Structure 1
Amino acid sequence: MQNQQLLDRAIGLAHPEVLKRATTARLVYALQPASVAFGRYTPKNDPHERPVAHLSGVNALTIDKFDGRWMLSAGADSSIAIWDLENPLWSNDSRTAFYQPLEAVTKSTEEHKLGITQLSFYPFDSLAFLSSSYDHTVKIYSSETLQPSASFDLDSVVYNIALSPIADHLLVACATQHPAVRLIDLRSGASTHSLAGHSGAILSTAWSPTREHILASGATDGSVRFWDIRRSVGELGSLDYEDSVGVMGLTVSGRPHVPGKAHRGPVNGVVWTEDGRHLVTCGHDERIRVWETDNGANTLANFGPMVRNSGLAPLVPVLAPVQMLPLDKDVMFYPNEHEVLVYEMFEGKLIRRLRRAEQKRAADSAPGKGQRNVRDRVTALAWRAHSVELLSAHVDGSIASWKPRTEEDAALDEEEADERDQAESSKKRKRGVLEDIYQDLTSKKITFGGL
């Protein structure tokens, strides 16, 4: 297939973009666990012991979208660390890349008092970032010093925060225990207003990537609602999983619509596609749904019976960059307890299941019938910009890296292994010959005659 694409490009039958997308898609489909570790490294580290980035578990993860170089992680103990993804250390065998935090802060009176729920870089400047916490606060930090510069008390648990990737209004949408979306204006440093309509706690919010005043939110009442923050009555409509035609009419104002339910249970994951034409939602009914945003229609994509979802913490899928994939072949990565499920988003087809070797062994032995293996549960995912690499945060305190490993890579690794085996065999033969000579010399009786 690849040779045919190269030939088509060479003779002018295919556009260069087609070959580029086919090549990068092949890499996206080939993600595997990488020999990368995050934590404090010493030469005495046990190679079989996984380093931890946060002792109490990793709750949140984010990577800057400018350079794809700086990564922030946060722990259940309110600790925060920043990592440089371009400067690893190497283990003694040069096979494992170790990353150590550039800076790290632990629990103190100035930082959060309880676990952090989410991190987010400023949309236009990676020198600052925001964090939300179970301690009811949202804080602004300097990325260079990891010192907080401002704090907002929302008087309820903050599950999720969202900043628009395109807008200049600098409003932070906050999902809290309160049944209204709270908006914080970073310019004035005040809470501007609330968006009322949900009847339960808000668990997830997300700004449109193409319309700067449009916001989506999911709540424990099972509803997903759209808002226009410029309107006095902000709600545009809500999604209904029984609606496969589209009667919500986002682009039509004043249309009566009976509020429906997007999921039969709390909604703790909401994410837009890059073009803003579709929305992906995840709920406690263990369903992932894909919606058309212009009319609210349920595309009826079926992701099968493997989806798991529980807990109020945000469970947000990651979408691979569309420029790396063929048209209308979007790929979604879903954090499914102890593994990452990779789907074709519009078809719901399961492409592969990403699990580390330790997880595979644990999955085979640990859970009994009717039980779930959550010892190494995935808590968050992040895609590294300008690269083909996925990062995952885990409840055991580790951070995992997933990089492409194609058939050619496997063949090269096998050749290198064969070469190492041959070199080792050669060394053993040489040692054997020397040992035989030594034994012959020591076994012979040597006598010394007189003069």
Structure 2
Amino acid sequence: MSTAHLLARSVGIVSPDHVLRNTTTRLIYALQPTPITFSYRASSKDEPNETIPAHISGVNALTIDKFEGRYLLSGGADSSIAIWDLENPISSVTSQDATPNNRYLPLSSVRKTSEEHKLGITQICFYPFDSLAFLTSSYDHTVKIYSSETLQPSASFDLDSVVYNIALSPIADHLLVACATQHQAVRLIDLRSGANTHSLPGHAGAVLATAWSPTRDHVLASGATDGSVRFWDIRRSSAELGVLDLEDTVGILGRHSSSSSSFQHSARPQAKAHRGAVNGLLWTEDAHYLITCGHDSRIRVWDTDTGANTLVNFGPMVRNASGLAPCIPVLPPARFMPAGGEVIFFPNGGGEILGFELFEGRLVRRLRRMAGGERDAGAAAVAGASSSKTPRRNVADRVTALAWRAHDVEMYSSHADGSIAVWKPRTEEDAEADEEEEQERAERDEEGRKRKRDVLEDIYLDLTRKKVTFGGV
């Protein structure tokens, strides 16, 4: 924080909230990779520096609890599950210059067994009101509920089709799980009754993404392979509220009236939000906007009051055209950013993460790890928006999921090579402090070597000055 901001705050010119937003915005723009690693087991004594990924066959899903921001869940491509305590890393010396490297080991984990998922995890999320339980979905057609303490499943639902995505409302008490599956209808599971309640038909292709409104517990959005994004009101017999249309820049869904908190129907029920499958949905915290990601390599921002396409252009660097797996961006908490200055981080094709201004589409950060899985935070692993270098595309290093740590300026990413990466701020002041610390360390080392040389020189002089006599016979 600058001296000017501190002075302005001390005399009451600006509010504490303004100072907080200014500081956290600066930190978010300074995110860089760290040397922190996640390993499913400790390194052996014979090979203390061996690389052991968090999940041997790749990581498909990632989430962090929103209560403490302490526990991270990861789901593997081999159906393995692990839970990590982010406040208890293990420090170990991994290089000759005795530089400490923080490493996380799982609190507990589940390897692939016949009793758990038989195929890879597609989505993982904590129970909305209690981090002691979480849900998973899988390519084996099932959705399961687990205990966070034992990692044992307490319930299982077979949907008879691949489950690509699941969503739980962050505010509702109806405990409905919206499931995106190979079916053309959104499937709803009631955790209270333990049964499939009903389906929401309307899409003309497999449903790939679902997301509940963060402010209205009965409103749901879904995206499918037919390129459509639909809104639903689960209280109504004809649940569909409307369809987003990429050609609508005015908004024909209409604003909801004071007597109703639901949308009006669209005049074009066959409208498309993307010219390709939609595999990512994300609401802003105030629910005024919905962000959609499609296989046409486009990110679109929609005004949910009217259904209008805001026409934000994120440029030609966006890549999202392979597979049906979820591709969900993250938004730092709104309290961290000034109004209208929100930043979105998108898991781009290859091994990079792109940061954009949400309402301007300007590229502000381009984050990537070094080739070969190196985790040197001080190396040139991050290219700024002005960089002209094009990153090498590494399928094994592909970013599969992103998660933001509650109450902190930290982002986590999972990768197809089985690793989990940590992104933390590194400002110019941090770099200068590191340089000063390195210089002080070098000076201390030099001083220590000088003392050793002085001691050896004194011993040598004492030996050479000592009078030597020879006795006669």
**1:42–1:258 distance in 2 versus 1, CA, 3 Å:** closer
Match of 1:125 among 130, 142, 157: 130
Q: 1:400 matched to which residue of 2? A: 421
The one-letter code of the counterpart of 1:72 is L
- How well do the aligned residues superpose, as a CA RMSD in angstroms? 2.5
Count of residues in Structure 1 that have an aligned counterpart in Structure 2: 447
Structure 1 residue 350 corresponds to structure 2 residue 363: yes
**What is the rounded CA distance, in whole Å, between the counterparts of 2:56 and 2:127 in structure 1?**
27
- Alpha-carbon deviations, 1:101-139, whole Å to 9, x = none? 111111112100000001011100111100000000000
Matches within 5 A, 1:368-383: 372-383=393-404
CA contact (8 A) 2:209 2:278 kept: yes
Contiguous gaps of at least 5 residues in structure 2: 257-262, 374-378, 384-389
Distance apart, 1:425 and its partner CA: 2.4
Q: 2:317 matched to which residue of 1? A: 306
Secondary structure of 1:306's counterpart equals coil
- Alpha-carbon deviations, 1:53-98, whole Å to 9, x = none? 1111111111111011111111100000111111111113463221
Structure 1 residue 331 corresponds to structure 2 residue 336: no
Q: 1:290 matched to which residue of 2? A: 301
**What is the rounded CA distance, in whole Å, between the counterparts of 1:213 and 1:303 in structure 2?**
31
Match of 1:265 among 276, 300, 305: 276
CA contact (8 A) 2:73 2:82 kept: yes
Normalised TM-score (structure 1): 0.93
**What is the rounded CA distance, in whole Å, between the counterparts of 2:37 and 2:227 in structure 1?**
38
The one-letter code of the counterpart of 1:355 is R
**What is the rounded CA distance, in whole Å, between the counterparts of 2:292 and 2:68 in structure 1?**
28
**What is the rounded CA distance, in whole Å, between the counterparts of 1:128 and 1:105 in structure 2?**
15
CA contact (8 A) 1:363 1:373 kept: no
CA contact (8 A) 2:281 2:291 kept: yes
CA contact (8 A) 1:57 1:75 kept: yes
- Alpha-carbon deviations, 1:242-285, whole Å to 9, x = none? 11111123635356334211111111000100000000011111
CA contact (8 A) 2:83 2:106 kept: yes
Q: 1:2 matched to which residue of 2? A: 2
**1:414–1:141 distance in 2 versus 1, CA, 3 Å:** same
Structure 1 residue 14 corresponds to structure 2 residue 14: yes
**What is the rounded CA distance, in whole Å, between the counterparts of 2:380 and 2:58 in structure 1?**
21
Distance apart, 1:409 and its partner CA: 1.1
Q: 1:188 matched to which residue of 2? A: 193
Distance apart, 1:433 and its partner CA: 4.9
**What is the rounded CA distance, in whole Å, between the counterparts of 2:100 and 2:82 in structure 1?**
24
Secondary structure of 1:319's counterpart equals coil
**What is the rounded CA distance, in whole Å, between the counterparts of 1:136 and 1:431 in structure 2?**
68
Contiguous gaps of at least 5 residues in structure 1: none
Secondary structure of 1:294's counterpart equals coil
The one-letter code of the counterpart of 1:332 is I
Match of 2:332 among 310, 320, 333: 320
Structure 1 residue 67 corresponds to structure 2 residue 68: yes
Secondary structure of 2:73's counterpart equals strand
Structure 1 residue 205 corresponds to structure 2 residue 206: no
**What is the rounded CA distance, in whole Å, between the counterparts of 1:253 and 1:361 in structure 2?**
51
- Alpha-carbon deviations, 1:273-316, whole Å to 9, x = none? 00000000111111111100011111111111111112110000
CA contact (8 A) 1:43 1:91 kept: no
The range that moved more, 184-193 or 417-426, is: 417-426
Distance apart, 1:448 and its partner CA: 5.9
CA contact (8 A) 2:43 2:50 kept: no
**What is the rounded CA distance, in whole Å, between the counterparts of 1:45 and 1:328 in structure 2?**
54
Normalised TM-score (structure 2): 0.89
**1:255–1:114 distance in 2 versus 1, CA, 3 Å:** closer
**What is the rounded CA distance, in whole Å, between the counterparts of 1:72 and 1:42 in structure 2?**
21
Match of 1:169 among 174, 178, 187: 174
CA contact (8 A) 2:274 2:298 kept: yes
**What is the rounded CA distance, in whole Å, between the counterparts of 1:45 and 1:324 in structure 2?**
45
**1:134–1:254 distance in 2 versus 1, CA, 3 Å:** closer
Distance apart, 1:221 and its partner CA: 0.6
Secondary structure of 1:91's counterpart equals strand
CA contact (8 A) 2:61 2:400 kept: yes
Distance apart, 1:363 and its partner CA: 11
Q: 2:225 matched to which residue of 1? A: 220
